[in-house]
Copies of this chain bind each other. A is one copy, B any other.
């Protein structure tokens, strides 16, 4: 009788144990799924922590950090693109590392070191291919987004050994990549319709030392900035037989050269109506260019040498940050009047800005403060501050749906 009671007690205890376990599991579906989140990805973002080789995944609605993902290597000058489902980020490190981050699970899914030194990349129109622009060795490598396996190697020269450094790599409509060859002064179009056999169209003698490139938001005009001369090279991709034309000759690059503290980023340009706003290399000016004629309209004097000149998504204002030692300042320009309507000093080392997709907020990396600030773009009021270790690039998932970003 005694043993019967004990046995009964034993089975009750077992039942209670399992019941408690079950209840715990039922109440924690997220933990259950390995910490992955079941949520929309339209309001996710990624911030590069350049000094410690990690990224932070953030919620741009709640202004909160969701995950920190480590082990991405050298992230100085790192950039990122997103998968078409807006779940995965592909991060291009300076050390040639290509990392795939799962933003719903906060994990590093895959990482390949595909070159010795690289400088950004792009994702194809169909979202199936990710391309990386390399310095050492030069050329462009193309990978499958699922596996990060090499699909195509484009040497950008007669062989891999003598391949040029490539810069300004962007995606273009009709499953193309476009990029510039720094060493040889060329622009190449790679049609990736058959991924393993890119069809290359080459434009030579476009100008000396193209150092960066951009494509207009409509995917029509590819423009390469030239470090070696005064002007830019432009390709109209809409023409049946595209050719390179020189624009903005003598805009000032070669005229009373100032020391260039930091090369401006052409990807950070801005289009507002028919005007494009671009940093004038080495000058304390923002260039305004008519996008119908590609001629200079005016130059707007600003605080220092501009680095990023970025339009609020509606194009009503452009926001400008500056090179060292003036990188504590931001200026906001009215695109109708060309007047500076606001100057602010968020702190030392303002490296990058990213607008929310519909423009109501701007996120700003303030490196030397280890902070990312979030501002209301209408009132300039600071809404939130996030602690981030030496933040640099900020990238929101809405880029997944845009050409050239």
Residues of A with Cβ closer than 8 Å to B? 3-4, 7-8, 10-11, 14-15, 18, 21-22, 25-26, 29, 32-33, 36-43, 60-61, 82-88, 104, 125-127, 171, 173-175, 218-220, 238, 272-274, 292, 312-316, 336, 357-360, 378, 397-398, 400-403
Contact = CB atoms under 8 A, between A and B. Distances in A.
A153 to B, nearest CB: 24
A292 B274 contact: yes
Contacts of A316: 173, 218-220, 238
Contact of A7 (B4, B40, B43, B104): B4
B86 A42 contact: yes
A398 B86 CA distance: 10
A360 B4 contact: no
Contacts of A15: 14, 18
B272 A218 contact: yes
B86 A40 contact: yes
28 contacts: A7-B8, A11-B14, A14-B14, A18-B18, A29-B32, A39-B85, A39-B87, A39-B104, A40-B41, A40-B83, A40-B88, A40-B104, A42-B85, A43-B86, A61-B84, A84-B358, A125-B359, A125-B360, A127-B358, A173-B312, A218-B272, A218-B314, A218-B315, A220-B273, A220-B316, A313-B403, A357-B402, A358-B403
Closest A-B pairs by Cβ, 4 of them: A42-B86, A40-B87, A11-B11, A40-B85
Nearest to A171: B358
Given A11-B11, A220-B315, A238-B336, 18 more contacts: A29-B33, A33-B33, A33-B38, A39-B87, A39-B104, A40-B41, A41-B42, A42-B84, A42-B397, A61-B127, A84-B358, A126-B360, A127-B358, A219-B316, A238-B316, A274-B274, A314-B403, A358-B401
A401 B357 contact: yes
Nearest to A313: B403
Contacts of A220: 273, 314-316
Contacts of A85: 39-43, 61
Nearest to A236: B336
Contacts of A83: 40, 42
A29 B400 CA distance: 27
Contacts of A273: 218, 220
A142 to B, nearest CB: 17
Given A32-B29, A41-B86, A104-B40, A358 B11 contact: no
A287 to B, nearest CB: 20
Max chain B C-beta neighbours (<10 A), residue from A32, A126, A173:
A173
Contact of A173 (B38, B292, B314): B314
A15 B14 CA distance: 7
A85 B87 CA distance: 12
A38 B40 contact: no
A278 B357 CA distance: 26
Contacts of A336: 238
A22 B273 CA distance: 60
A237 to B, nearest CB: 9
A104 B38 contact: yes
Contacts of A41: 40-42, 85-86
Contacts of A39: 85, 87, 104
